[in-house]
Amino acid sequence: MHTNRLLFASALAVALLGSGAHAQTIQRSVHEVALKDGESTELGDVFFITSNCKSMLKGTPQVEILDGPPGVTAVINPARVVPRGYSCAKAVAGGKLILAAKDIHEQSYTRMILRIHYKTLNGDRDRAENINVTLIPTE
């Protein structure tokens, strides 16, 4: 048990220091999004790569809404994406994170919490995303 914790802590430290595998999505920690009823927006690319820009994904990442306003959905559409923020030049397997608003009847401002599930060659991984969502009904 102690060995497993040490390995996990070591792997986490390696990932945070920029070598090893990288689970990358959007670069900011909290996003600000404004949507009118019926609109959707692309938040960014979702991917999981090694330090030499090779994808470690076994399939398209999935997204789960842990908390958020009613009428807002989240989905990851499969896509080949270029992780330019990590100095990668070629597209890798991944997806595009999309938020959509439907049946919005009153204006609101809410924190939305998403969990992104990655199925990788080294096992399953999860990452959270926080999004501040302003919703506007259409007239």
d(Cα 52, Cα 44) in Å, to the nearest integer? 21
Using CA atoms, how far residue 122 sits from 98, 107, 108, 109, 118, in Å, is: 26, 43, 40, 38, 10
Q: Tell which CATH classification among 3.30.420.40, 3.30.465.10, 2.60.40.10, 1.10.10.10 matches the domain 2-136.
A: 2.60.40.10
pLDDT, tens digit (0-9, with 9 covering 90-100), for 67-77:
999 999 999 99
Question: Is residue 14 over pLDDT 70?
Answer: no
Closest CA to 99 of 8, 4, 32: 32
pLDDT surpassing 60 at residue 61? yes
The tens digit of pLDDT for each residue in 25-44 reads 444 467 899 999 999 999 99
Q: What's the pLDDT score for residue 31?
A: 87
pLDDT at 13 over 60: no
Q: Which residues, other chains included, contact 103 with Cβ-Cβ below 8 Å and sequence gap of 6+?
A: 37, 70, 71
Q: Which amino acid is at 101?
A: A
51 versus 139: which is more confidently predicted?
51
On average, the pLDDT of the chain sits at: 84
* Mean pLDDT of the region 107-131: 96
CB 96 within 8 A of CB 79: yes
CB 76 within 8 A of CB 89: no
